[in-house]
Amino acid sequence: MSWRVDWQASVGLLGTGLKYLAVTMFVPLFVAVVYMEDIWVFALSIVLVTALGFALERVDTDPDIGPREALVFVSLAWLTAAVVGTIPYLLAGFGTSSTLADPVNALFESMSGFTTTGATVMGEISFEQHSHALLIWRQLTQWLGGMGIIVLMIAILPEVAVNGAQLMASEAPGPELQKLTPKIAETARVLWLIYFGFTLVYIAVMYGLHLSGFAPNMDLYNAVAHGFTTLPTGGFSPQAESIAYFSAAVQWAAIPFLVVAGVNFALFWHVLKGEFDVMLENAEFRAYTGAIAVTAALLSLLLVRGAAPPLDIGGVTGGATENTFRQAAFQIASLLNSTGYATSDFAQWDTHAQVFLLFVMFIGGSAGSTGGGVKVVRWLVVFKAIRRELYTTANPDVVKPVRLSGSVVDEDAVRGIAAFTLLYILLFGFSAVFISLDTARIGIELTTLEAVSASLATIGNIGPGFGRLGPFGNYLFFSDASKLLMTFLMWVGRLEIVPVLAVFISVFDRSQ
Amino acid sequence: MRVVIVGAGEVGSTVAASLAGDHEVIVIDLDSERVDTLTYSLDVLAVEGDGASVKTLREAGIDDADLLIACTDDDETNIVSCGTAKTISDAFTIARIRNTKFLDTWSQSEGALGIDLMVGTNLLAAQSIVRVIGLPGAEDVDRFADGLIQMAEFRITDETPVTGMSVAEADTFDSLTFAAIIRDEEVVIPSGDTCLRDGDDVVVIGSPESISDFARGIEPDTDGVSDVLIVGGNEIGLEVARLLGEKGTPNRLVEPDPERARYLAETLPKTTVLENDPTDQEFLLREHIGDVDVAIATLDSDERNLLSALLSKRLGAARSIAVVENGDYSDLFEAVGVDIAVNPREAIAEEITRFTREQHAENVAIIEHDRAEVIEVEVDSGSVLLDRPISQSIRDLPDGVVIGAIARDGTYVIPRGDTVIEENDHIVVFAAQEIVEETMEAI
């Protein structure tokens, strides 16, 4: 049977990518040396991944990537990165009581890392159980996945840059590719540099707070570790208590970075060039920041009225205190764009506040940001298209294009966005049903909120859910089948469903 | 003056005909039949060839020409013809342009593309339509002296309050001059006791405020235009919608072709674009055409515009305006019930006339389909008007010339018998067609 796709080319290119992924493992190796931990886990991982890279590269030494190969390559690249990312978890966990010694768990954790989801199956997050090196690798996977491993490859590898636009379009979040410069490699470099810059600023601010005495727990290791997971809207933390472990000053200082992570990074490029208007007049930016302001205000109101009980971690006693507003603003900034940090155990809040957060999780970041979910721009287009449908029902002769920031959205794009949003909701719904049935099969009854949030938190790359899946809980108790489904959801969620499913359709559906 | 005209279509022929009397005219066209026809019908030299080629232009004697007018139906051809002429000669170049985007380009720098004057026909037509819409009851409106002075033409019917009054009674405004009355196709210069009759068209010149006040006296019931229906989305319709959108006047546009309708909807964010057959009565009724203040027919042929304008009027639209490409039909349109017929070619003619006169007029408005003109002139040292009171100098002008208004250093001056005209004053005069040349020479 013909595959109608030059899979050798895709695999060959994948080999090149793996070689460079091995290079990134020098970061945890370095940490291991600094903390005088076992260096063999990462030394061996580097050797294995490099060898695999060279082997795959030989499949096609001169890969020629067309549109279909690009889809296959991007889908495979993310899957392979997740698989390869399990190697340190498995090696480190071998012979210990670590939950990551189990391959399915390791794959879940690795996929959750690269896709910047932040859902965890680690039974215990502590430096007693895991090395500093392994926990920094877990953070690093999110940083690599945030701006995108393909975008990074385009930025640094000339052989990938040739077909970069197709690759980048398949990976970059949002309905369309925004080229900032004539050369795609230059665009990729600009995006990564902005991303890198924000990460450095974040680390500097956090470590600065530590040095000036406002953040006793935020040492250099923690500053770097959280720098790796804030800008990519990741949500992993080497601390079991997430950001609640740190002082109020850290929490306030993190909020602007959380907001920035959900903004289209291309807009910062315009800001750097002095074109502030482009950002301020961008419909998605206005909607995104507006949504954060409105939902944070509403959540503040709920918390002031006592929606959260006093808790061990980040409890809110009600009333208009600094703590109340901080908890509201932080939770919104973290959950709306799919980061998944927490400063309060919102899984123990009153149900109405949880349902409100669930609604907020549906929004997602902006196109071209590192955020997951449906994305603000899609919601804008969907709402405008719906409004048009209603309008034209009463005025059948009216021709009304959908406009965004003053320019017309192509009808094909409107259709694509509507199809994506519907597919997202369908996949989310079916998965929630599957997860709840499958979990009942192994004798655990999920609550409605748990089942729904398990599906949404993984397909939306958010991370924490409600109930047992709360920000200080984990996904460990699920069956392997559910974990694999959720791994799949994270994968397709990060690539915005279409590339992965398009590969399946084009390869397997012969009737088309 | 030696004038080369590129393009012998309707516009080119019309311009050639109007210039042939006083100037040497050479017409270039690709079509041999047209060239033959012109050679016999007009006293011009007709050359067959491509107006954008150096060879043809040389053949037409571009080297000695004072003026080149490119007025084919194709914008690009006109632009290239002007550019070519500019490259090889010193002729003043005028290009007729339909697409507004070229006007935008041209306005970026003086003499851009080798064109000294770009005449945007669709834009000019649209502007005159929008001006008329803005003034209830008016049939024609034009601006002079950067908007300081306006000219307007109103139809007097038995319903207008001023009917039967004398001019002295009707003229209660300081800065307003009754320049002329067009009665039974004749131009009458009114005196204070001339009575306004049913069927008259009065031409007034004055400040925009006084003209608006006067218009309110003619049509007391209208409280501004709030609902305009544009029937047909050709380029003029598009420009009208755009201009109305800029002014904030709500407007709807009907276009039958789905692709064109989509394009219009994308280009005109402030206009409601409807896709339907514009002559479908049921559709028009569904859109409540009876409540429409002004219906404008901008379809692709004069016949369809006539039908559409009459239909709108019959279904209850308060005013109907039709675009008419063939100038001969203008009177006919208005005779059968269309309120205002706007001829886009008149706008080109106004512009070209302005530049072909020996002494350049600042602005020209053609009244009642070429029966008279309102002209804005800057008074210079050679003028008979200079430094004399109007009551004296008017004797040196032909009979029937009316000085309607004066703009001096950006202020409005009411012309009286004892007003002394100074150098660099801009005067706006009304003159019947027969005496325009004579008047211009005197001034």
For every residue of B313-361, DSSP letters joined together read HHTT-SEEEEE-SSGGGHHHHHHTT-SEEE-HHHHHHHHHHHHHSSSPP
The percent of residues in chain B predicted with pLDDT above 90, rounded, is 0
pLDDT value for B368: 72
Inspect the interface and report whether the beta carbons of A398 and B283 lie closer than 8 Å. Answer: no
Distance CA B344, CA A70 (A): 55
Unique residue bearing structure tokens 């026909």: B121
Measure CB to CB from residue A400 to each of B258, B265, B287 and give the nearest one. B265
**pLDDT at position A312, please?**
67
- Which residues on chain B are in Cβ contact (under 8 Å) with A395? 274
pLDDT score recorded for residue A458: 92
Does B265 contact A401 at a Cβ distance shorter than 8 Å?
yes
The residues near B118 (Cβ < 8 Å, ≥ 6 apart) are B94, B95, B97, B102, B103, B106
The span from the CA of B335 to the CA of B155, in Å, is 13
3-state secondary structure of A407: strand
The pLDDT score that the predictor gives to residue A162 is 67
Q: Is the pLDDT of residue B22 over 60?
A: yes
| pLDDT tens-digit series, residues A348-400 | 888 899 999 999 999 998 888 888 888 898 999 999 999 999 998 988 889 88
* C-alpha–C-alpha distance, residues B103 and A456, integer Å: 54
Q: Using an 8 Å Cβ cutoff, are B67 and B358 in contact? A: no
Q: The complex's ipTM?
A: 0.75
Question: Which has the closest alpha carbon to B267: A408, A467, A135, A84?
Answer: A408
Q: Do strands B228-231 and B372-378 pair parallel, antiparallel, or not at all (unpaired)? A: unpaired
Residues of B in contact with A398 (CB under 8 A): 272-275
What is the domain class of B347-442 according to CATH?
A: alpha beta
pLDDT digits 0-9 by tens, A114-147: 999 989 998 888 888 889 999 999 999 999 998 8
User: In this model, does residue A203 exceed pLDDT 80?
Assistant: yes
- Predicted confidence at residue A447, as pLDDT, reads 92
Q: To probe the interface with B, which of A384, A395, A397 has the most B CB atoms within 10 Å?
A: A397
Tokens of B370: 């070429």
Give pLDDT tens digits for A28-81. 999 999 998 888 889 999 999 999 999 998 887 777 777 777 888 888 889 999
Distance CA B137, CA B146 (A): 23
Reported as a single tens digit per residue, the pLDDT across B193-245 is 778 778 788 888 888 888 877 777 776 555 567 788 888 888 888 988 888 88
Q: Verify whether the Cβ–Cβ distance B276 to A397 is below 8 Å.
A: yes
Report residue B55's pLDDT band, with 50, 70 and 90 as the boundaries.
confident
B262 touches chain A (CB under 8 A): yes
Query: A397 contacts in B (CB within 8 Å)?
Result: 254, 274-276, 283, 287
> Which CATH code of 3.90.550.10, 3.30.930.10, 3.40.50.720, 3.90.950.10 fits the domain covering B2-115?
3.40.50.720
**Average pLDDT value over all residues in chain B:** 81
Is B219 within 8 Å of B318 (Cβ atoms)? no
Both tokens of A238, joined, read 């080497």
Over residues B344-395, the pLDDT tens digits come to: 877 777 777 777 765 567 777 777 767 788 888 888 777 777 787 877 777 7
Q: Does A408 touch chain B (CB under 8 A)?
A: yes
Name the residue of chain B whose CA is nearest to A410's CA: B266
Give contacts of B 146-175 with A, CB under 8 A.
none
Q: Do B283 and A406 touch (CB under 8 A)?
A: no
- Inter-chain contacts counted by CB atoms under 8 A, chains A and B: 29
Q: Compute the distance between CA of residue A351 and CA of residue A292 in angstroms, rounded to an integer.
A: 21
Q: In chain B, which residue's Cα lies nearest the Cα of A407?
A: B266
CA distance B227 to B251: 6
**Of the listed ranges A18-22, A150-154, B54-58, B304-308, the one predicted with least confidence:** A150-154
C-alpha span between B142 and B351 (Å, rounded): 13
Q: CA dist A51 to A45, A110, B169, Å?
A: 10, 20, 104
CA distance between the termini of chain B: 20
- The C-alpha of A410 sits at a distance from chain B's nearest C-alpha, in angstroms, of 10
**pLDDT value for B359:** 58
Residue of B231, B273, B288, B289 for testing the chain A interface, max A β-carbons within 10 Å: B273
CA-CA distance, A369 to A496, in Å (whole number)? 13
**Rounded to a whole number, what is the distance in Å from the CA of A416 to chain B's nearest CA?**
19
List residues bridging with B427 in a β-sheet. B377, B406
Domain ranges, ordered by start, for chain B:
2-115, 138-218, 228-344, 347-442
Flag whether residue B264 sits within 8 Å of chain A, measured between CB atoms: yes
Tokens of B285: 């009724």
How high is the pLDDT of residue B357? 65
Contact criterion met (CB below 8 Å) for A459 and A431? yes
Which amino acid appears at position A470 of this protein? G
CB distance A115 to A490 below 8 Å: yes
Confirm or reject contact between A403 and chain B (CB < 8 A). Answer: yes
Per CATH, the homologous superfamily of domain B138-218 is Regulator of K+ conductance, C-terminal domain (3.30.70.1450)
**Average predicted confidence (pLDDT) for chain A:** 87
Tell me the CA end-to-end span of chain A in Å, nearest whole number.
16
Rounded CA separation B404/B401 (Å) = 9
Q: Does B314 touch chain A (CB under 8 A)?
A: no
pLDDT tens digits, residue range A425-470?
999 999 999 999 999 999 999 999 999 999 999 999 998 999 889 8
Say yes or no for a CB contact (<8 Å) between A399 and B273: yes
Across the interface, whether the CB atoms of B273 and A408 are under 8 A apart is answered no
Q: Report the distance separating Cα A343 and Cα A471, nearest Å.
A: 9
Q: Which fold has domain B228-344?
A: Rossmann fold (3.40.50)
Asked if residue B176 has pLDDT above 70, the reply is yes
CA A464, CA A339: separation in Å to the nearest integer?
9
**B160 vs A350, higher pLDDT:** A350
* Residues 6 or more apart in contact with residue B290 via CB below 8 angstroms: B315, B316, B317
Candidates B264, B269, B276; nearest CB to A403: B269
| Cβ neighbours of B258 in A, within 8 Å | 399
Say which DSSP state B386 is in. Answer: B
Residue A198 has pLDDT above 60, yes or no: yes
Query: What's the gap in Å between the CA of A395 and the closest CA on chain B?
Result: 9
Domains B138-218 and B347-442 share a fold: yes
